[in-house]
Amino acid sequence: EAEVAQSPRYKITEKSQAVAFWCDPISGHATLYWYRQILGQGPELLVQFQDESVVDDSQLPKDRFSAERLKGVDSTLKIQPAELGDSAMYLCASSLVRDWGEQFFGPGTRLTVL
């Protein structure tokens, strides 16, 4: 069964350092999402792509976060510089249909900022 791949699974970094997360969606899924989940809370959307275009990044802290999906397939989320409050699980999801299609989530990247 096709799955969303994410790497790394765990990342420990010091504040002010740069970190990057990678996501490979299910083949053929045009829509890709990045979510952030703080411990004890539900995930919250950071950015949504349709193919290579950003369709919603209203909740992305653009002063330090950036996301790209250059060829409309895999995607990278970057944080520079990392802050203590960025410690969270970063989840990638993809879907075949944009408006209300089932979203398939990857296992996430657990980020700890020291």
Partner 1 sequence: DAKTTQPNSMESNEEEPVHLPCNHSTISGTDYIHWYRQLPSQGPEYVIHGLTSNVNNRMASLAIAEDRKSSTLILHRATLRDAAVYYCILIRGGSQGNLIFGKGTKLSVKP
> What residues line the site for partner 1 (CB under 8 A)?
4, 31, 33, 35, 40-45, 48, 55-56, 91, 93, 95, 97-108
CB count in 10 Å sphere of residue 31: 19
Residue 82 or residue 106: which is nearer to partner 1 going by CB? 106
Q: Which is nearer to partner 1, 78 or 110 (CB)?
A: 110
Distance CA 96, CA 76 (A): 19
> What's the closest the beta carbon of residue 81 comes to partner 1, in angstroms?
26
Closest approach of Cβ 104 to partner 1, in Å?
7
Least distance CB 90 / partner 1 (angstroms): 10
Task: Look at residue 108 and give its three-state secondary structure.
Answer: coil
**Cα 36 from chain centroid?**
7
Determine the 3-state secondary structure of 23 from DSSP. Answer: strand
Q: Which residues contact 99 (CB under 8 A, 6 or more apart)?
A: none
Q: How far is the CB of 32 from partner 1 (least distance, A)?
A: 12
Q: How many CB atoms lie within 10 A of CB 51?
A: 12
Q: Which is nearer to partner 1, 51 or 56 (CB)?
A: 56
Report the residue number, 26 or 81, with the smaller CB distance to partner 1: 26
